[in-house]
Structure 1
Amino acid sequence: MIEVNQLTKRYGGVTAVNGLTFTVRPGHVTGFLGPNGAGKSTTMRMILGLNRPTSGSATVDGQPFARRRHGLRHVGALLDAGDAHPGRSAAAHLWALARSNGLPRRRVAEVLREVGLEGVARRRVGGFSLGMRQRLGIATALLGDPPVLLFDEPVNGLDPEGVRWVRGLFRRLAEQGRTVLVSSHLMSEMENTADHLIVIGQGELIADESRTEFAARGAGARVTVRTPDPDELAAVLTLDGASVRRDGSGVLTVTGMSAGRIGELAYERRIMLHELAPRTASLEEAFMESTAGHADYVVGGRR
């Protein structure tokens, strides 16, 4: 479990993270979202003890990560796919880390096999593509078989097969009872991967809830209703506080009211329904609406 409590980081007069509090629990994939400059990477670095907080705390399973003697046994992380020395082979890079963390040599072969790099184990990292370096970074995170894992933009550079593989990997890790925190700017990936979302903007918490609950915030959430009595139903729904748009063919598009409530009102007024189809906002729509006004950079220049 990762616990962040009133975490704050200032660089001179700039506040990168401001009083952030959240908990990442085991057993599901937690997406960590926010606009560019929101403070996601800074927060992850503070969780790992790479940046010192100005105030507040971040703990992993009850204590600061920096106190762990063999860190890779407790937390695995991919923050930058370019961290490996370009002159070393993939196997040599992993073996150096395994040795410093008291891990058996067999783990090097095991994780290289798991990420699909077994055939290039002796190639120098400098000759790897971005996708191969991402896989090596994931292998590094898995090396100590840790209960807690953090991944910052892990699908950058991966081809479609690699993206599908990494989705399945994160789900398997969560199903094993591990704590999995994944930062990404790709809403489609979070929609397909994350169970829970932590959303921040300008270093402050915007949302901490399930993916379904977050998507339901979006104004794109609406209900399509088809009825032989559109005028009567529209009047009933409007009176009850919904917004109703008609397309002239008996189809109503309703916002601000659930499908269940629409069905109840139609039943009470004996209005026949031919279709009642809720449409949840996409994760991207909900994200854009929730983070509006929280982005440091917008088209046309800095906010």
Structure 2
Amino acid sequence: MIEVNELTKRYRKVNAVNGLTFTVRPGQVTGFLGPNGAGKSTTLRMLLGLNEPTSGTATIDGRPFRDRPRGLRHVGALLDAHDVHGGRSATAHLSALARSNGIGRSRVHEVLAEVGLTEVARRRIGGFSLGMRQRLGIATALLGDPPVLIFDEPINGLDPEGVRWVRGLFRRLAAEGRTVFVSSHLMSEMEATADQLIVIGRGELIAAESLAQFAARSTQQSVTVRTPDGTRLTDLLTTEGARVLPDDDGSFTVTDMTAARIGELAFHHRVMVQELTTHTASLEKAFMELTADSVEYLAGDRR
């Protein structure tokens, strides 16, 4: 379990992280979201003891990570796939980490096979593509078979097969009862992978809830309506305050009115309705709405 309590990191007069409190529980994949500059990387670095908090605490299974002498047995992390010695081979890199953490050499070969790097294990890392480096970073996180895993933008550079593999890996790790914490800016990945979300903006907590609860925060819900009497129904709905937009397939998208109310009006005025489908809000829409005031840099910003 990961516990962050009133965590603050101040650089001169700027609070990169400001009084952040949240819990990441085992047995599920928890996504960590926020606009650029929100403080995600700073938070992860404080969790792993790489940055010292100005105040507050960040603990993993009740203890600061830096208090664990053989850290890879307790926490596995991928923060930067480029942060490796390019002159070493994948095998040498993992073997050195295994020795320093009291991990058997056989485990090196196991994780290389798991991430699909067995055939290139003796090649220099400097010649690896970004996707191969990401796989090596994931292998490093898995090396100590830890109960807690932290990943920062883990699918950068992966091809579609690699993305599918990572999704399955995270699900399996969570199903084994591990704590899986994944930072990403890709909403599609969070929708496909995460069970819970931690969302921050300008270093402060915006939401800590399930994926479905967060997506439901969006006010931009719509209803698809299909009818043979589109003109009449459009007039009825717009008179009642709804927005009605025609779609290319002959249906209509209705906003500012529920499907139940549309059905009531159609029934009352004897208008045939062939389809009435409510579309739940997307994660991306909810994220854009709720973090709008926390975006540090806006395209076209003239402030």
Same fold (TM over 0.5): yes
Q: Which runs of 4+ in 1 moved over 3 A?
A: 225-236, 246-259, 261-274, 300-303
Q: Does 1:181 align with 2:181?
A: yes
1:230 aligns with 2:228: no
Q: Does 1:62 align with 2:65?
A: no
Residue number in structure 1 paired with 2:12:
12
TM-score with structure 2 length normalisation? 0.89
Contact residue 31 and residue 196 of structure 2 kept, 8 A: yes
User: Is the Cα–Cα contact under 8 Å of residues 89 and 122 in structure 2 kept in the other structure?
Assistant: yes
Q: Which amino acid aligns with 1:79?
A: L
How much does 1:267 deviate?
10
Question: 1:230·1:252 contact (CA, 8 Å) conserved in 2?
Answer: no
Partner of 1:101: 101
Pick the aligned partner of 2:242 from 244, 248, 271.
Answer: 244
Contact 1:266 1:273 in 2 (8 A): no
Please give the residue correspondences for 1:112-261 in structure 2 after superposition, counting only pairs within 5 Å: 112-226=112-226, 230=233, 234=237, 238=240, 244-247=242-245, 253-255=253-255, 259=259, 261=260
SS of the aligned residue for 1:16 comes to strand
Give distance in 1, aligned partners of 2:269 and 2:244.
20
Q: 1: CA distance between counterparts of 2:246 and 2:181?
A: 47
SS for the counterpart of 2:220 is coil
Q: Quick one: which amino acid aligns to residue 245 of structure 1?
A: R
Closer/same/farther in 2, CA of residues 4 and 302 from structure 1, 3 Å limit: farther
Secondary structure at the aligned position of 2:26 is classed as coil
279-288 or 41-50: bigger deviation? 279-288
- For the 8 Å contact 2:225–2:273, the answer to whether it is kept is yes
Cα offset, 1:24, TM superposition: 0.8
Secondary structure at the residue paired with 2:294? coil
Counterpart of 1:279? 279
Residues 196 and 270 of structure 1: CA distance in aligned 2, closer, same or farther (over 3 Å): farther
**Paired positions, count:** 297
**What's the secondary structure of 2:123's corresponding residue?**
coil
After superposition, where does 1:286-297 map in structure 2 within 5 Å?
286-297=286-297
8 Å Cα contact 1:234/1:252 also seen in 2: no
SS in structure 2 opposite 1:281?
Answer: coil
* DSSP-derived class of the 2:242 partner: strand
Q: How far is 1:189 from its partner?
A: 1.3
Alignment of 1:25-104 (within 5 A): 25-104=25-104
* 2:280 partner amino acid: T
**Unaligned stretches of 5+ residues in structure 1:** none
Residues 215 and 222 (structure 1 numbering): CA distance in 2 closer, same or farther, change over 3 Å?
same
Q: 1:206 to 1:36 in 2, by over 3 A?
A: same
**Counterpart amino acid of 1:230?**
L
Once residues 148 and 183 of structure 2 are traced to their aligned partners in structure 1, the CA distance between those partners, rounded to angstroms, is 14
SS at match of 1:289: helix
2:293 aligned counterpart, secondary structure: coil
**8 Å Cα contact 1:244/1:252 also seen in 2:** no
1:300 Cα deviation (Å)? 3.5
Shift of 1:66: 1.2
CA distance in 1 between counterparts of 2:77 and 2:206 reads 24
The 3 A distance-change label for structure 1 pair 142 and 248 is closer
Conservation of the 8 A alpha-carbon contact between 1:72 and 1:143: yes
Q: Secondary structure at the match of 1:6?
A: strand
1:110 paired residue number: 110
C-alpha contact (below 8 Å) 2:48/2:66 kept by paired residues: yes
Deviation at 1:148, TM superposition (A): 0.7
The unaligned stretches of length 5 or more in structure 2 are none
The answer to whether the Cα contact below 8 Å between 1:245 and 1:252 also exists between their aligned partners in 2 is: no
Query: 1:264: how far off?
Result: 8.6
AA aligned to 1:24 is: V
1:12-51 CA distances to partner (integer Å, 9 max, x unpaired)? 1111001111111111111111111110000011111111
Counterpart CA distance in 2 for 1:244 and 1:33 is 33
Length-normalised TM-score, structure 1: 0.89
Identity of aligned residues (%): 70
Shift of residue 65, structure 1, vs aligned partner: 1.2
Distance 1:244 1:166, change over 3 A: same
Distance in 2 (CA, whole Å) between partners of 1:257 and 1:5 is 41
